[in-house]
Amino acid sequence: MAAPKESRGAAVRGWYGRQPRVVRIVLGIVFAGLAFLLPYVGEIPVIGPQIVTQGIDWPSALFNMSYYVLLALGLNVVVGFAGLLDLGYVGFFAVGAYTVALLTSPDSVLRTEWGWAVAVPVGLAVAMLSGLVLGYPTLRLRGDYLAIVTLGFAEIIRIVATSTETLRGDRGFSDIPHPPGEYADGKPIFGVADAIPYYWLGLAVIILVIFGVRNLDNSRVGRSWLAIREDQEAAEIMGVRTIKYKLWAFAIGAFIGGLGGVMFAGQQGFMNSQTFVLQFSILVLAGVVMGGSGNIAGAILGGALISYIPDRLRGIEDPIWHTDLFGFRFAIFGAVIIAIMIFRPQGLIPSRRRAMELKDREKEVAPIE
């Protein structure tokens, strides 16, 4: 008799966890190497053309996936690890991007025109500070109330960006510099024609973020987040400094979101207020839940899918109305999410704790006769 899917998944995780540290490192290097080769997957006969996007350059689609994965990893810290429902995560993405634009673009009122690499640390610091600014007034809120406040935070940033002359509204910022670097012949590594270096940069950043988040999750900080997520009152009684660790979650999530923003600004070279709509936050949250809230691998998969599915639909004609399927992306994506929530409510790659919780709840439900 075949083992259930949950059992097989748990068996794979258990096998990986039992391997010596050297074996796990080697496997991680192999997976990372395969990820760096993804821009060339289209050259694989038969399989490759079915994977690569048609309506958008494949390396550009990979870069889009990279910053969506970053955002999913950051939101997973706030929602998955600490259990804080954040509907305004796009605000941190916007703060990082706008900070870089203000410091680097010739359209900025500051007229500083810094290089991209010099502006990045400032953008990350401002994004982290904005996480603390949002987190401190909301320390006593949870659930729906916290979601409404974070939603308001994102909307405030969008409205300010749209209506203030300093942030230039729909006109936006142009000529934002790209990351530095040149080939031996003087040609820039990060240009406008080839998105592969941007994807490789994004992938390298993702690997560093995974290491950092994983170490935090396995540390005292991660255990405190788990206690807060399960029962905040009980955690306070047991001596967990909930205020401190909730602020940690907001600050680290904001840092990672700002990191996605500075990379987005450096690749696009132009940005305006229409980029940072509420729909963006909802999409990233859907990716985290769909992939598996509280699990790093699940957040990576969910973040990649919410970017890949719409891009893959570009250029594909539906057989009935003969229109681009990209126009139906939200309907198709919604149907996919509904199916996953019905048949796999714990997510595609759930955390072990989340999977066990849902299994226990199924046992508590009385059978219908």
- φ, ψ at 173 (rounded to 5°): -115, 130
Q: What separation in angstroms does the CA of 144 have from each of 84, 267, 289? A: 10, 35, 17
The packing angle between helices 329-343 and 278-291, to 10°, is 30
12-64: pLDDT as tens digits: 655 666 778 788 888 889 999 999 999 999 898 888 888 999 888 999 999 99
Instruction: Report how far residue 300's alpha carbon sits from residue 367's, in angstroms, rounded to the nearest whole number.
Output: 36
156-188: pLDDT as tens digits: 999 999 988 889 888 999 999 999 988 888 899
Please, what's the largest Cα pairwise distance for the chain? 76
Instruction: Report how far residue 133's alpha carbon sits from residue 13's, in angstroms, rounded to the nearest whole number.
Output: 38
Per-residue pLDDT of the chain (369 residues; tens, 9 = 90+): 444 444 455 556 556 667 787 888 888 899 999 999 999 998 988 888 889 998 889 999 999 999 999 999 999 999 999 989 888 899 999 999 999 999 999 999 999 999 999 999 999 999 999 999 988 888 888 888 888 999 899 899 999 999 888 898 889 999 999 999 888 888 999 988 889 999 999 999 999 999 999 999 889 999 999 999 888 889 888 888 999 999 999 999 999 999 999 999 999 999 888 888 888 888 999 999 999 888 999 999 999 999 998 888 887 877 777 777 888 888 888 888 889 888 888 888 887 766 665 565 555 554 555
The packing angle between helices 242-268 and 90-104, to 10°, is 50
User: The dihedral of CA 299, 304, 307, 312: what is its sign?
Assistant: negative
CB 190 within 8 Å of CB 183:
no
Residue spans per domain, the chain? 55-276
- φ, ψ at 32 (rounded to 5°): -65, -40
Pinpoint the alpha helices (H) of the chain.
5-18, 21-36, 47-51, 58-75, 90-104, 116-135, 143-163, 196-217, 220-230, 232-237, 242-268, 278-291, 296-313, 329-343, 352-364
Tokens 């899918």, residue located: 305
